[in-house]
Amino acid sequence: MTDTARKPEAAAPDSRFAAKVFPSPNHGERKHADGTPGRRPDMLILHYTGMPVAGEALQWLCNPVSQVSSHYFVFENGHTLQLVPEGRRAWHAGASHWAGETDINSCSIGIEIANPGHPGGLPDYPEEQIAATLNLCRDICERWSIPPERVLAHSDIAPGRKIDPGEKFPWRRFAEAGVGLWAEPAAIRGGRFFARGESGQPVEALQAMFAMLGYGVAVDGVFDAKLEAVVAAFQRHWRPDKVDGVADSSTITTLRDLVAATQGSRTA
């Protein structure tokens, strides 16, 4: 190398809200359902790391042995790194489903938020971290035209398998800022409810509403363990005051209102 030769400059982050690129090798090509390349992301998936130490979680996401990654990583103090280019398929969603999509990695951007998660007692997300995540999400949604109904929790796309980012994540605040869908949760009261072991037309109607929202649920009129997991995932995101997998009147009313809001959003 001569004195005048220059080293190549490091890649700049896709988002102005990321401090720098900290590259992970764990990514591939985005593909359409028919296998052709070039799928554009139109979903945003939020995760928590679920590990006690943020630095260890970051290293795991960048370790080729792990076979996992995300596009962005947000520390507790709000410091944000980009691990995978937005145009590439990061390996963050795993086996998942939403609104007929089964290759969520190809159609989404994933953000990992440093938090010990449920294994660590699910501590509150610090204000600096939430503010940074919100700025990042808003920027991504604006640049990629991601609609509110496609801003989701990892638990939404993988009910029963994943429970992050958890019921303490401030989804209402994000929706009020234009990121994600929200309907005021109906008050929790007594009355008729549906739970595992029940079956019939009312359960089928409940399943149909969940399917309309986007959850991967069979409409067969049977309230089984899979439907219970979907109900719990829905509650964790949209009715977080009580997460028990029981479809009470509050859950059903909130679901109905969200389906109506989703339909309005899609036709707007």
Active site residues: 112
The dihedral built from the CA positions of residue 90, 226, 152 and 214, taken in this order, carries a sign that is positive
Is there a contact between 119 and 53 (Cβ–Cβ < 8 Å)?
Answer: no
CA–CA distance, 15 with 136 (Å, rounded to integer): 7
Angle between helical axes of 249-267 and 225-238 (0-180°, round to 10): 70
Q: Collect contacts of 222-228 with beta carbons under 8 A, ≥24 apart.
A: 223/194, 223/195, 223/196, 223/197, 223/198, 223/199, 223/247, 224/196, 225/160, 225/196, 226/159, 226/160, 227/196, 227/203, 228/195, 228/196
What the block records as the tokens of 224 is: 């089984």
Is there a contact between 96 and 43 (Cβ–Cβ < 8 Å)?
Answer: no
> Kind and range of the H or E element at 48?
strand 43-48
